[in-house]
Amino acid sequence: PSNISVFSGIQPTGIPHLGNYLGALRQWVGIQDNSPKSARLTFCIVDLHAITQPQEAEQLRKRKTELLATLLAIGLDPRRCTIFEQSRVPAHSELMWILSCVAPMGRLNRMTQWKSKLGVSSDQDAFQEKSAAAGSKLGLFSYPVLQAADILIHRTTHVPVGEDQAQHLELTREIASSFNKTFKKDILKLPITLLSPAKRVMSLKDPAQKMSKSAADPASRILLTDSPKAVHDKLRKAVTDSIPGPLTYDMQKRPGVSNLIEILAHIQRRQDFDNVAKEVSELSLKAFKDHVADAINEHLEPVRDEYEKIIAESNREVLRFVANEGERKARESAEKTLAEVKEAVGI
Ligand code: ADP
Ligand code: NA
């Protein structure tokens, strides 16, 4: 157990939403509260990943501060964890370059995330895929290698993420073993993926898509800092169906209603979706949506209160201190691995 090293990251592209929270962030806090003191816990604000899409400089800086405040508000303890900004630890980018020299292009080409960020689905015809890729940037294509570097540089054993990242973790393991084989040294550790029970929370406006920070419609996601009224308004606008009779859980036939049932269940740390559905089956659609909104609000109230305190102007010095300390600890851990990697490579 003393070798446990947990790493995960989140993009500073807006306040985290309920999908980020149930799929990843809540698990980070759970790990913090339940792992042995010897376990190393590292959580990264991945600004280098954020710039794979156009960002406005002032807004990006603001969002990094807000994200740090959110991570503290949900209960991450900077005395226990290393919380840092990716771009402040250059060893991540350096290792990325080295790994780029062992990462197979063909494998990267099969990653689906960069395609979905271009608005091309994975089962798309080749022509449409080609034309979308023509204007796309190298960073969007190669960021899974940066992600591999982020993870491997901290000798990570466990990576708590949502399901959308499972494919990248698989690639990370392949790159690590390919590096170890190429340089005949067991330097890079192969990490395990930890999926939370809420692997994939869906959009409130399009239950075929995952809830995402980057979707155009802000009503498609619940932000951790949304007011109680905003949560009710978004839930009321959530896309469901007009199937008459009792509410039922059926992801295929009733994806909108079922997504809300899953959210309600996950908030209560339950996975018996059918039972949860039975408990609300007699409610009208409107009363059901209000019920889900109430459950979300009750859960998020302490997070919001904490966030307001932490983000206050009078508290900025504390946030700066936390970011500096995180950077210092992350550099120490990353530079150690990078030195060994360079030694093996001969640079
Ligand atoms: P986003 O895709 O919303 O920009 P990030 O890429 O910053 O979010 O991902 C941060 C973490 O949240 C990752 O572990 C990711 O797997 C998880 N995550 C993102 N969206 C969802 C979702 N809809 N359901 C479950 N987990 C999610
Ligand atoms: Na994502």
The reply to whether ligand 1 has any atom less than 6 angstroms from the CB of 263 is: no
With a cut of 70, say whether residue 326 has pLDDT above it: yes
5: β partners: 40
21 belongs to a structural domain:
yes
Where residue 131 falls among pLDDT bands split at 50, 70, 90? low
Residue 47 CA to residue 148 CA, distance in Å, equals 15
164 belongs to a structural domain:
yes
145 and 292 share a domain?
A: no
Residue 288 CA to residue 286 CA, distance in Å, equals 5
**142 φ, ψ to 5°?**
-100, 0
Residues 184-242 have pLDDT tens digits of: 999 999 999 999 999 999 999 999 999 999 899 999 999 999 999 999 999 999 999 99
Return the percentage of the chain with pLDDT > 90, whole number. 89
206 belongs to a structural domain:
no
234 and 124 share a domain?
A: no
Q: Which domain holds residue 291?
A: 225-309
**Measured in angstroms, how far is the CA atom of residue 183 from the centroid of ligand 1?**
34
255 and 108 share a domain?
A: no
**Total count of domains within the chain:** 2
With a cut of 60, say whether residue 13 has pLDDT above it: yes
* Neighbour count for residue 82 (Cβ, 10 Å): 21
212 belongs to a structural domain:
no
52: β partners: none
Which is nearest to 158 in space by CA: 269, 47, 30?
30
Residues 280-313 have pLDDT tens digits of: 999 999 999 999 999 999 999 999 999 999 999 9
Where residue 120 falls among pLDDT bands split at 50, 70, 90? low
In whole numbers, what is the pLDDT of the chain averaged over residues?
94
With a cut of 80, say whether residue 115 has pLDDT above it: no
**Measured in angstroms, how far is the CA atom of residue 237 from the centroid of ligand 1?**
22
Burial call 252-289: b when 16+ CB within 10 Å, e when fewer: eebbbbbbbbbbbbbbeeeeebeebbeebeeeebeebb
284 and 188 share a domain?
A: no
325 and 301 share a domain?
A: no
Residues with Cβ within 8 Å of 97's Cβ and at least 6 positions away in sequence, in order, are none
Residue 187 CA to residue 183 CA, distance in Å, equals 9
249 and 304 share a domain?
A: yes
Residue 326 CA to residue 329 CA, distance in Å, equals 5
**Measured in angstroms, how far is the CA atom of residue 90 from the centroid of ligand 2?**
22
- pLDDT given for residue 117 in this prediction: 72
Residues 18-28 have pLDDT tens digits of: 999 999 999 99
The secondary structure element, H or E, covering residue 42 is strand 40-45
Residues with Cβ within 8 Å of 29's Cβ and at least 6 positions away in sequence, in order, are 74, 75, 76
Residue 202 CA to residue 255 CA, distance in Å, equals 9
210 belongs to a structural domain:
no
253 and 291 share a domain?
A: yes
The reply to whether ligand 1 has any atom less than 6 angstroms from the CB of 19 is: yes
196 and 276 share a domain?
A: no
175 and 323 share a domain?
A: yes
What 3-state class would DSSP assign to 7?
A: strand
220 belongs to a structural domain:
no
289 belongs to a structural domain:
yes
Instruction: Compute and round to an integer the Cα radius of gyration of the chain.
Output: 21
Where residue 136 falls among pLDDT bands split at 50, 70, 90? confident
Which is nearest to 166 in space by CA: 112, 102, 116?
112
254 and 296 share a domain?
A: yes
What CATH code is carried by the domain that includes residue 182?
3.40.50.620
* Tokens of residue 25, six digits: 């962030």
335 and 295 share a domain?
A: no
One-letter identity of residue 214: S
Which is nearest to 154 in space by CA: 202, 101, 86?
86
**What amino acid positions are annotated as catalytic residues?**
117, 210, 213
Return the percentage of the chain with pLDDT > 70, whole number. 95
Residue 61 CA to residue 170 CA, distance in Å, equals 31
With a cut of 50, say whether residue 1 has pLDDT above it: no
The reply to whether ligand 1 has any atom less than 6 angstroms from the CB of 176 is: no
- pLDDT given for residue 227 in this prediction: 97
**Measured in angstroms, how far is the CA atom of residue 205 from the centroid of ligand 1?**
17
What CATH code is carried by the domain that includes residue 229?
1.10.240.10
Instruction: Find the mean pLDDT for residues 254-281.
Output: 98
What 3-state class would DSSP assign to 250?
A: coil
236 and 171 share a domain?
A: no
With a cut of 70, say whether residue 125 has pLDDT above it: no
216 belongs to a structural domain:
no
The reply to whether ligand 1 has any atom less than 6 angstroms from the CB of 210 is: yes
Could you write out the DSSP letters of every residue in 51-104? TTS---HHHHHHHHHHHHHHHHHTT--TTTSEEEEGGG-THHHHHHHHHHTTS-
Ligand nearest to the CA of 160: 1
With a cut of 80, say whether residue 133 has pLDDT above it: no
The reply to whether ligand 1 has any atom less than 6 angstroms from the CB of 52 is: no
